[in-house]
């Protein structure tokens, strides 16, 4: 079965840039979606189809996808960006989530 | 506005059954597939499967066959998840999530999960 690997945690200084990776075999050939989940809340879609932002998501969130790695970038990180982040793809009609990354803003 | 509202928390004994509801509003229910996602305490997101809201045809992920049933009542724009023979390891938050991909002619396009319910906590304990 297809697997997506994310770092367990990423730390970023306030106002700096955080990059969260999502590794998978030839993930560049798939559409990657990213979700933000704050404690006690439901996940929220922040990037869909590699690099598209839903309405209401700040421009500070961006995504890219190539080769075996997709990346979610959070620019000018704010305290409110502290959350768990999950990548997700579809593989053989199965939705697969990444292992999740906890982002801490210092 | 577009939203999914789920039923409240449940406390069940092992061996019992539970039915979680997910009521959609603000859009045409049958135009978008509905997915179900489980999150055990302190764990990540796990996809359980989805149901075609056009045809009512469910698809279950590996590990979610047998005791798990997805169903619909399109007259009230509601999707349901029923779990039977509950076990302690079923303790989790269960989310419904709308698929951004459009359903047409009996098939649905796989895409991102753009709208999520607030989650339903199911606790299984004797």
- Position B105 scores a pLDDT of 77
How far is it, in rounded angstroms, from Cα A9 to Cα A2?
22
How far is it, in rounded angstroms, from Cα B90 to Cα A19?
34
Question: Per residue in B49-84, pLDDT tens?
Answer: 999 999 999 999 999 999 999 999 999 999 999 999
Per CB-CB distance under 8 Å, the chain A contacts of B95 are 42-43
Sequence-distant (6+) residues with CB within 8 A of A41 are none
**Residue ranges, chain B, pLDDT below 50:** none
β-pair partners for B115: B98
Minimum-distance CB partner of A86 among B45, B50, B95: B45
**C-beta of residue A87 within 8 angstroms of C-beta of residue A25:** no
| Contact between A93 and B113 using a beta-carbon 8 Å cutoff | no
- Of B87, B24, B17, B90, which Cα lies nearest the Cα of B53? B24
How far is it, in rounded angstroms, from Cα A96 to Cα A75?
26
Which CB contacts under 8 angstroms, 24+ apart, belong to B39-44? B39/B92, B39/B93, B39/B94, B39/B95, B39/B119, B40/B89, B40/B91, B40/B92, B41/B91, B41/B92, B43/B92, B44/A84, B44/A86, B44/A97, B44/A98, B44/A99, B44/A100
- Position B47 scores a pLDDT of 98
Per-residue pLDDT of chain A (106 residues; tens, 9 = 90+): 999 999 999 999 999 999 999 999 999 999 999 999 999 999 999 999 999 999 999 999 999 999 999 999 999 999 999 999 999 999 999 999 999 999 999 9
The percent of residues in chain A predicted with pLDDT above 90, rounded, is 100
β-pair partners for B120: B94
Mean pLDDT of chain A: 98
Per CB-CB distance under 8 Å, the chain B contacts of A38 are none
- Position B37 scores a pLDDT of 98
Minimum-distance CB partner of A45 among B37, B59, B112: B112
Helix, strand, or coil here: A81?
Answer: helix
């Amino acid at each position: 079965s297809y697997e997506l690997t994310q770092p367990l945690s990423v730390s970023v200084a306030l106002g700096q840039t955080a990059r969260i990776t999502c590794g998978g075999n030839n993930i560049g050939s798939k559409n990657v979606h990213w979700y933000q989940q704050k404690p006690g809340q439901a996940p929220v879609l922040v990037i869909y189809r590699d690099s598209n932002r839903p309405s209401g998501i700040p421009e500070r969130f961006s995504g890219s996808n190539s080769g075996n790695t997709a990346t979610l970038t959070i620019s000018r990180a704010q305290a409110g960006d502290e959350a768990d982040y999950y990548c997700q793809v579809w593989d053989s009609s199965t939705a697969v989530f990444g292992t999740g990354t906890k982002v801490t803003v210092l | 506005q577009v939203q999914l509202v789920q039923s409240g928390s449940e406390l069940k004994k092992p061996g019992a059954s539970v039915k979680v509801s997910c009521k959609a509003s603000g859009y045409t229910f049958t135009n978008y597939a509905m997915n179900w996602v489980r999150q055990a305490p302190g764990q990540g997101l796990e996809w359980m499967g989805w149901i075609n809201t056009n045809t009512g045809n469910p698809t279950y992920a590996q590990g979610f066959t047998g005791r798990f049933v997805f169903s619909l009542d399109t007259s009230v724009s509601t999707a349901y998840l029923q779990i039977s023979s509950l076990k302690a390891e079923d303790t989790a938050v269960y989310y419904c999530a709308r698929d951004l991909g459009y359903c047409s002619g009996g098939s649905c396009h796989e895409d991102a999960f753009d709208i999520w319910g607030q989650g339903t906590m199911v606790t299984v304990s004797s």
